[in-house]
Homo-oligomer: A and B are copies of this chain.
Amino acid sequence: MSRFRTPKEIFFVTWVQVLKMRFETSTIKDIAKALGLSTSTVSRALRDRYEISEETKKLVLAYAEKVNYRANPIARSLKERRSYSIGIIVSEIANNFFSQVINGIESIAYDRDYHVIISQSHESYKQEKLNVEHLASRSIDGLLIALSSETQDIDYLRDLYSKGLPIVFFDRVPENFETHKVIANNFKGSFDATEHLILSGKRVIAHLTNSETLSNTKERLEGYKAALSKYHIEFKPELVKYCQHGGMHSAELEQAVKELLPLKPDGIFISSDRLTTGCILALKNTNPEVAHKIAIAGFTNSNLVELFSPSLTSVKQPAFEIGQVATELLISMIEAKRPITEFETRVLDTELVRMKKNLGNRYL
């Protein structure tokens, strides 16, 4: 019995394989041959190096144009050991905040000739780690990441960082990790929102928030507390509810609402996009009769808040700008002449969008 020496795979020729034969994309070599030059000269001419005479450059450029030459970025990446691409990790692109951040990132990246690869963690630590490692193995030049709500252990990021992968955190940033970070002014945003609730006469203000471990959870809690304290309202821990999964599971939210309502809050301050919309939904689903009696203020970048009923006061983060700034910092790290040692944490102000009284109250 002999082993199968010529297994099927050998005859398995895919369409790509057939096509690549005539997917005739001209290379530097072709140009060189056609023009009777060497590949080095052509390469340099195309990259507009000083060593090449104007004449030759013109010649090469014209011919390249004629045959519609496109440099092969893969080959370039291999040679230069970098990919001109940056990785992005967010929990969910369907989240308005993150999609706006991504738009900001792209606006800068494309300008600087980087391209971006987006990955979603879906608020799962496992998924996050998997994606980051996948990206790293695709040799991205840098990473922009907002941690998932589950993430506690960031040693895997430390590892990559110490191996030379530039990383910039945004929105959800770790505490003990020395690199650039870009966040919204969470304290002030929360303070303003809570104060707004107080000024409109609310006294029992609950706080619904994300996983306790997230950086912005802490900051937002502080803002909430500070506002209460300014108006001499006692802080009651039982009015604060944490959602481990960031509102990814509706059960989690309904549970939180269920626990909160018996405490008779007349206002709720909610600290994240997904939680805000999720909470209103849960409220409407489980206790429609009180949904319109509780004033709500929350972080959200939804551009549809004006449509919501019950209406709410929202804290809008400068998402686009956060993306831009983070990208600028990242690219500066990537292209820095020496390892960076001075890191900055940029804090961008939020905007409070007050509920429109005329609309908001009409249906109360």
Q: Which residues on A are within 8 Å of B, measured CB to CB?
A: 3-4, 7, 12-16, 18-20, 22-25, 50, 70-75, 77-78, 81-83, 92-94, 96, 99-100, 102-103, 106, 115, 117-118, 120, 134, 137-139, 141, 163-164, 166, 277, 280-281, 284-285, 288, 302, 304, 306-309, 311, 333-340, 358-359, 362-363
Contacts and interface: CB of A to CB of B under 8 A. Distances in A.
B337 A15 contact: yes
B74 A83 contact: yes
Given A281-B304, A288-B359, A334-B14, A139 B73 contact: yes
Contacts of A94: 96, 99-100, 103
A39 to B, nearest CB: 16
B22 A74 contact: no
Contacts of A73: 137-139
Contacts of A363: 309, 362-363
Contacts of A338: 15, 18
Nearest to A301: B94
A-B pairs with the 8 shortest C-beta distances?
A309-B309, A19-B164, A94-B99, A363-B363, A23-B164, A15-B336, A20-B81, A307-B308
Nearest to A166: B15
Contacts of A71: 137
Given A19-B164, A20-B164, A120-B106, A284 B304 contact: no
Given A81-B20, A83-B74, A359 B163 contact: no
A339 B145 CA distance: 40
A99 B100 CA distance: 13
A354 B77 CA distance: 52
A164 B304 contact: no
Contacts of A359: 284, 288
A78 B78 contact: yes
Nearest to A84: B138
A304 B277 contact: yes
Nearest to A363: B363
A296 to B, nearest CB: 11
Contact of A137 (B19, B70, B83): B70
8 contacts: A12-B337, A16-B164, A20-B164, A115-B138, A284-B307, A285-B306, A304-B304, A308-B309
Contacts of A334: 14-16
A115 B7 CA distance: 28
Given A74-B74, A93-B102, A134-B115, A18 B339 contact: yes
Given A15-B334, A72-B139, A73-B138, A307 B309 contact: yes
Contacts of A308: 304, 307-309
Nearest to A94: B99
A152 to B, nearest CB: 23
A306 B281 contact: yes
Contacts of A103: 94, 120
Among A92, A309, A338: residue with most chain B CB under 10 A = A309
Given A14-B335, A15-B340, A74-B139, 19 more contacts: A15-B336, A16-B81, A16-B82, A16-B164, A16-B335, A20-B82, A22-B164, A23-B163, A25-B163, A93-B118, A99-B99, A280-B307, A281-B306, A284-B306, A284-B359, A285-B306, A309-B309, A362-B363, A363-B363
Contact of A337 (B14, B24, B25, B339): B14
Contacts of A138: 73-74, 115
